[in-house]
Amino acid sequence: QVQLVQSGAEVKKPGASVKVSCKTSGYTFTDYYLHWVRQAPGQGLEWMGWIKPNTGDTNYAQKFQGWVTMSRDTSISTAYMELIRLRPDDTAVYYCARDEGYGDQAFDYWGQGTLVTVSS
């Protein structure tokens, strides 16, 4: 069965960076785009961008350009999201999600989420 398993919770100081991993299984990693979505406490979902695993091509939301890097390691079917220059308002649960591939950016499988807390 399809699974997306993310790395564990992180606590970071302002100005630091964080790298979250998303290990996939149960399907061909290079066949589906992977997206990253975050959710601040009590807030709605916010799309950060996608990575195309077979080429490494990325598309970041305008807000995160210059600030986020998405990458992947096809040998272990894992995607990564790194956010730099963290601020307290980056405190959120970060999700990876698989694009179901029908062309309408619907996310059919999600990771369990990784809580990133930014605090001095």
45 touching another protein, by CB under 8 A? yes
Structure tokens at 64: 């995160």
- Cα 29 from Cα 11, distance rounded (Å): 29
- Answer positive or negative: Cα dihedral of 16, 110, 31, 49: negative
**Among residues 10, 12, 47, 117, the one that binds another protein under rule CB under 8 A:** 47
35 touching another protein, by CB under 8 A? yes
Check if the beta carbon of residue 36 is closer than 8 Å to that of residue 61. Answer: no
- Among 27, 25, 12, residue whose Cα is nearest residue 88: 12
Interactions with another protein, residue window 70-99 (CB under 8 A): 95, 97
Check if the beta carbon of residue 110 is closer than 8 Å to that of residue 97. Answer: yes
Smallest gap from Cβ 75 to another protein, in A, equals 26
100 touching another protein, by CB under 8 A? yes
Smallest gap from Cβ 39 to another protein, in A, equals 9
The site for another protein (CB under 8 A) is made up of 35, 37, 43-47, 49, 59, 61-62, 95, 97, 100, 102-108, 110-113
